Chain A
Amino acid sequence: MLKATNLRAEYGSLVAVNDVDLEIETGEFATIVGPSGCGKTTLLRMLAGHQEPTSGTVELGGEDVTYTEPQNRPTSLVFQSWALFPHMTVRENIEFPMRNKGVEVGDRVEELLEQVRLDPDIHADKQATELSGGQKQRVALARSLAYDPDILLLDEPLASLDYVLRKRLQRELADLNEELGMTFIYVTHSLESALLMSDKLFVLQDGDIIQTGSPEEIYRRPSTKFIAEFMGDANVFSLDDAVERGDGYEVKSSQFAQTTTVPYHYDADPEYLVVRYDDSSIGSELTEDLGLEVTVTNVLVRGNTVLVECDAPESDGEYVAEIPIDEFRDTDVEKGDAAYLQWDASKSILVPE
C-alpha cells in the first residue's frame, strides 16, 4: 500500500502540491487527473523520488521512503518522453534495470516484449531510435516492468500517440495491471483515459485533491462545479434558491421555469444544477419534468448520436443535448428553430461551488 501524508511541494512562493493525503491499495489502478499545472506531475515525481517534498511523508508498505533515492525505491516511472536510451538496442534497454539489480536476464527480455505485445524476433535487436512512437512506448513500459517495481508510475505516456493507438494502449495497460497485480499510478489531464482504466480517481486542482472515488462515483456525483465541468459534457445552471427537503434540496433557477427536488450529499449548500449532455433531450414541446426554451444554433453528427447546440436567449447560456440520431430525426427540430432543452428530474445533479 502506498500512503502519502501531508505531502507538500513549494517552488519559491508557489505551492505546487498543497498538503496532499492519498492512499492507494496494492494492485489498484489509480489515476491522478487534473488540468495542466495542477501539480500532478510534481506529485508523481515526489512519489518516484525525483523530487524532495517541502514537507510530508511517503510510505510504501509501511516503510517511510520520503527521502529514499529513486535507485533504491521499488517504484519505476514511465516518462512522458519515454526516455529510452538512444544508444542502446531494445534488448539492452530492457536488460539495463536487470543488470543494475543483478538479476538473471535469461529469457526475461523475450517474455517482457511479449507482455507488451511486441514480437521479440523482430524488435529485440533494433536500435531504440529505429522504433515508432507506439513501439517506443511499449519498450519503455517493458523496461520499467523489467525493474520489477512494486508500483509502476506513468506520467501521461500516451499523450503524444494518435487516438486509435492511445485507445488500444489504454486497454492493454488496464489488462496488464490486472494480469500482474502490480499497483499502477497514472497521471493524466485526459478524463477519457482516467474513466476507462482506473479503479480509483484522484481529482487534483491547484495542488489540492478535491475528490477521490471510483470513476463512476465521480462521474455521477461530482463534488464541485469544477469537477462536474472537468468530467465533461455537462450543462450547468446556477441556482437562485435551494431549500433543504428531507434527503435533498428543492431548487429554483431563473434559467428554467420549474421547481424540483434533487437528492444531495455534500455539506456546502448547492449552487449549481448539472445535467449531462446525454441525459438532456430536445423537442418542440416540453414533455419532460424540467426544461427551458432555446434556439438551436448547430447540429453536429457524432457517429450514432448528434450534438444539438443551443442558445438560451434569456439567460445568455449555451447548452448541448446529445441524443441518438434517429430520435433527433423524429423531433423535426432543425438548426435555427426554437425548441425546448429538457431532462428527467432524476438526472439532475446538484453541486456546490
Chain B
Amino acid sequence: MSTDTATRLGDRLGSGVWYGYVALVALFLMTPLVSLVIASFYDGRFFSIVDYEFTFGWYEAALTSGSIRSALTNTLYISIPVTILSTIIGTAAAIAYTRYDFPYREQFKLFALLPIFFPLILLGLGMSMWSSQIDLGYGIVPSIIGELVWISPIVMFVVSITALGIDPNIEEAAKDLGADTVTLYRKVLLPLISDGVVSGAIFAFVLSWNNYYIVSYLSGPQSTITTWIHGRMTQGFTPVVPAVASLIFYVSILLVVGAAVLEYRAADDE
C-alpha cells in the first residue's frame, strides 16, 4: 500500500517533470515565430512591446504591394511544379527501393538520399556554377530543377516509410489473382501508399515554399518571397517584412498540420 502510493507519487512527479520539459522545448521553439507574428500586427515603425498597438495595416500593405505580389507569383511558379514533379520522382524512387529487388539496391538508396545531407548553401553554390556552365542561366526553370534535386529525395524518404509497411507478398498476391501491372498499381499499390504520397507532396510544397538557399543562387533577377524578405532585411527594412514572413509561416503550419493529421489517420487504421 505505502509503496503503491510512493510509486504513484513518483509517477506523478515524473510526468510533471516530463510535461514541464516538453512545454519548455515548445516555448523555446515557438518564441521566435510567435514574436514574428506579434510584431506583424504592431502599429508602428520600430517594434516595442511597451506601448503595443494592434493593426492589420502591414498585411494590407503586403497584399497590395506589386513587388510582393510578383515575389509571391514567382514562388508559386516554382513551388507548384516542384511539388508535382518531386512527388512523381520521389514516389517512383520509393516504389523502386521498397517494392522491387535489384542489384545494388541499398547503394541506390544511399546515393538517392545523399542530397538531403549536403549543406544547402553549398548545394546552391554548386548548382549555380553548373547552371552557368551548361548555359541554363538563372530564373524560374533553373530554380525548379535545383529544388527538385534536394526535395525529390525527401519525398522518396517520406513515401518509403509508408511503402515499407505493406506486406511484402501483396504484389505477388495481386498477380497471382490475375492482376496485370496497371491493375496492380491502380487498385493495390498506389491506394496503399496514397497517404504517404500526399504527405510527401505536402512536405515538398512546404520545403519549396520556404526555400531560400537554392533560389537565392538560381532565381537570378526573379525575386521570390524568401529572397524578397532577405533583400528587405539587408537593405531598407520595413514593417511589412514581419507580415510577409508571418504569411509564409501561416501557409506552412497549415500544411504541416494537414500532413500530421494524415499520418495520424493512417496510424489509426492499423
Q: Which residues of A contact B (CB under 8 A)?
A: 48-50, 69-71, 75-77, 79, 81, 83-87, 96-97, 100-101, 129, 143-144, 146-147
Interface check B173, CB cutoff 8 A: yes
* A87 and B179 in contact, given A79-B169, A79-B173 (Cβ under 8 angstroms): no
Measured in the bound complex, the distance between the Cα atoms of B222 and A335 in whole Å is 93
Of the A-B pairs whose beta carbons lie under 8 Å apart in the complex, a sample of 23, sorted by A's number, is A49-B176, A71-B175, A71-B179, A75-B176, A76-B177, A77-B173, A77-B176, A79-B169, A79-B172, A83-B170, A83-B172, A85-B170, A86-B167, A86-B192, A96-B174, A96-B179, A96-B187, A97-B177, A100-B178, A100-B179, A129-B270, A144-B177, A146-B177
By the criterion CB–CB under 8 Å, are B170 and A69 in contact?
no
Q: Shortest beta-carbon distance, A100 to chain B, in Å?
A: 4
* Residues in chain A near residue B179, CB distance under 8 A: 71, 96, 100
Measured in the bound complex, the distance between the Cα atoms of B168 and A146 in whole Å is 22
- Chain B interface, >50% SS class: helix
Q: Which residue of B lies closest to A147 (CB)?
A: B177
Chain B 140-176 per-residue mask, 1 if CB under 8 angstroms from chain A, else 0:
0000000000000000000000000001111011111
The 7 A-B residue pairs whose C-beta atoms are closest, nearest first, are: A100-B178, A83-B173, A97-B177, A83-B169, A70-B175, A79-B169, A70-B176
Count of residues in B whose CB is under 8 Å from the partner chain: 20
Measured in the bound complex, the distance between the Cα atoms of B34 and A252 in whole Å is 93
Q: Which residues of B contact A (CB under 8 A)?
A: 167-170, 172-180, 183, 187-188, 191-192, 269-270
* Residues in chain A near residue B178, CB distance under 8 A: 71, 97, 100-101, 147
Measured in the bound complex, the distance between the Cα atoms of B173 and A49 in whole Å is 11
Besides the known contacts A79-B172, A96-B177, A100-B180, 7 further A-B residue pairs in the complex with CB atoms under 8 A apart: A71-B178, A76-B177, A79-B173, A81-B169, A85-B192, A100-B177, A147-B178
* Residues in chain B near residue A85, CB distance under 8 A: 170, 173-174, 188, 192
Measured in the bound complex, the distance between the Cα atoms of B176 and A144 in whole Å is 9
Q: Shortest beta-carbon distance, B45 to chain A, in Å?
A: 56
- Chain A interface, >50% SS class: mixed
Q: Which residue of A lies closest to B177 (CB)?
A: A97
Q: Shortest beta-carbon distance, A300 to chain B, in Å?
A: 39
Which of A48, A83, A87 is packed against the most chain B CB atoms within 10 Å? A83
By the criterion CB–CB under 8 Å, are B176 and A48 in contact?
yes
Q: Which residue of A lies closest to B191 (CB)?
A: A87
Q: Shortest beta-carbon distance, A182 to chain B, in Å?
A: 15
Q: Shortest beta-carbon distance, B77 to chain A, in Å?
A: 35
* Residues in chain A near residue B270, CB distance under 8 A: 129
Q: Which of B172, B174, B192 contacts A87 (CB 8 A)?
A: B192
By the criterion CB–CB under 8 Å, are A70 and B170 in contact?
no
* Residues in chain A near residue B172, CB distance under 8 A: 50, 70, 77, 79, 83
Measured in the bound complex, the distance between the Cα atoms of B170 and A31 in whole Å is 24
Q: Shortest beta-carbon distance, B42 to chain A, in Å?
A: 50
* A69 and B176 in contact, given A83-B169, A85-B188, A86-B192 (Cβ under 8 angstroms): no
* Residues in chain B near residue A87, CB distance under 8 A: 191-192
Measured in the bound complex, the distance between the Cα atoms of B167 and A84 in whole Å is 9
Q: Which residue of A lies closest to B270 (CB)?
A: A129
Q: Shortest beta-carbon distance, B176 to chain A, in Å?
A: 5
Q: Which residue of B lies closest to A100 (CB)?
A: B178
Measured in the bound complex, the distance between the Cα atoms of B175 and A147 in whole Å is 11
Measured in the bound complex, the distance between the Cα atoms of B191 and A144 in whole Å is 21
Q: Shortest beta-carbon distance, A239 to chain B, in Å?
A: 46
